[in-house]
Amino acid sequence: MTDRPAIKPLEWRGSAAYSPIGDYSIDKDFDEEMTGSPWVCWWMDDNLGHFQTLDEAKAAAQSDFASRIRSCLIDKPEAVEATSPQSNLLSELRELVDRAQAIISTSTYPNWHASAEAALAANTTAAPESSAARAPLTGPSTRAHSEIETDDR
């Protein structure tokens, strides 16, 4: 990918070019003070300047158009390339998810999630007054349920 993307040239129909971001037009200024640069280039209602030739006015319109388009693009082209740091992170994340799923599927507690769901359902339907009355969760744990401090206020 190049540093700067190519910008489509304006398509002129007579003295006007229509674009998705606004229309360009070129008029001839017949004021005697403008005989050295009679061509006036416009974008919408903005005067882009006076020019000596029609080609110079069209080049100014193209330059303005390209500038407006580029101002909407990301400054760093690597942000849109397939080998960007973001795509590498996404690839690494997918690998981690796959590894986690493999570990869970081969766990020595294959039904731990079912036990947890049953305990949660028992706790939400019975609505106990204190945490001591809650059903213990079974499954992989680094501490026994009795070792966990509770606050029964």
Domain boundaries, the chain: 12-70, 82-126
* Statement: residue 40 has pLDDT above 70: yes
Average pLDDT over residues 54-82: 82
Which of residues 124 and 6 earns the better pLDDT score? 6
CB 50 within 8 A of CB 39: yes
The answer to pTM > 0.95 is: no
Q: How far apart are CA 77 and CA 86, in angstroms?
A: 12
What is residue 85's predicted lDDT score, i.e. its pLDDT?
A: 56
What is residue 131's predicted lDDT score, i.e. its pLDDT?
A: 47
User: Would you tell me how many other CB atoms lie within 10 Å of the CB of residue 65?
Assistant: 20
Q: Which long-range contacts (CB under 8 A, 24 or more apart) does 65-71 make?
A: 65/7, 65/10, 65/17, 65/19, 65/21, 65/24, 66/7, 68/21, 69/7, 69/21, 70/4, 70/5, 70/7
What is residue 105's predicted lDDT score, i.e. its pLDDT?
A: 65
Amino acid, single-letter form, for residue 124: T
Average pLDDT over residues 29-43: 88
CB 24 within 8 A of CB 16: yes
What is residue 128's predicted lDDT score, i.e. its pLDDT?
A: 47
Q: How far apart are CA 64 and CA 4, in angstroms?
A: 15
Per-chain mean pLDDT for the chain: 74
Average pLDDT over residues 26-50: 90
